[in-house]
Each structure stands twice: as C-alpha cells, then as structure tokens.
C-alpha cells in the first residue's frame, strides 16, 4: 500500500487544530477528515473519528500496525510542513 495523493487544508485561528487532511491510497481508496493537531509534545496526525453517545471518540479508519501508522504520519507531516512553511513565508514577506 502506498499513499498516492495527499491534500492538506490548513486551518487558521485554532490553537490546536492546524489542518484537515485527505489521503488517497493506491489511487483507489480515500480517507478524509484526518487532522494535524498541535499537542503538548508537538504535532501529530489524528485519524477520522466519530463521537460516541458516552462522549468518547472512536476511530472510523485507522492503521492496524505501527509501521503503517508511522508511514502515514511521516508522509502527512512532510506535506503539512511544506504547506505550513510556504504559507509562513508568504505572510512574512
């Protein structure tokens, strides 16, 4: 499995939520509503989730192993950094 497309939509004005992300896997499967979150230990990728009646959240889609999670997080964060740095350079010039 490989990520064949990543779309990052930056979010302005939110302290924690920094972007929404959509990924396409093998040009045939899309995962929408992933999020880049700024946590206490830096940025991380949150999988799409649904709020349950008891107030907890349950992932709608997620990797089943550590290696797949790390690959997705790495590629998403690389794309987020590109877009984040490009938007920062536009606002500082």
pLDDT in tens, 9-39: 999 888 999 999 999 999 999 999 999 999 9
DSSP E strands: which ranges in the chain?
3-10, 17-25, 29-39, 42-46, 49-51, 57-59
**Total structural domains in the chain?**
1
pTM, two decimal places: 0.85
CB 46 within 8 A of CB 35: yes
pLDDT at 85 over 80: no
d(CA 66, CA 86) in angstroms, rounded, equals 30
d(CA 80, CA 9) in angstroms, rounded, equals 9
Chain centroid, CA 64 distance in Å: 17
Tell me what pLDDT residue 13 has: 87
d(CA 51, CA 53) in angstroms, rounded, equals 7
We report the CATH number of the domain holding residue 68 as 3.30.1120.40
The chain-wide mean pLDDT, for the chain, equals 91
Strands 57-59 and 17-25: unpaired
Percent pLDDT > 90 in the chain is 84
- Domain with 67, as residue range(s), is 3-92
């Amino acid at each position: 499995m490989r990520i064949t497309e990543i779309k990052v939509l930056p979010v302005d004005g939110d302290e924690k939520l920094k972007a929404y992300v959509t990924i396409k896997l093998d040009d045939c499967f899309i995962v929408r509503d992933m999020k880049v979150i700024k946590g206490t230990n830096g940025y991380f990728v949150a999988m799409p989730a649904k709020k349950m009646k008891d107030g907890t959240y349950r992932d709608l889609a997620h990797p089943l192993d550590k290696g797949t999670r790390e690959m997705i997080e790495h590629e998403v964060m690389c794309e987020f950094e590109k877009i984040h740095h490009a938007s920062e350079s536009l606002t500082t010039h």
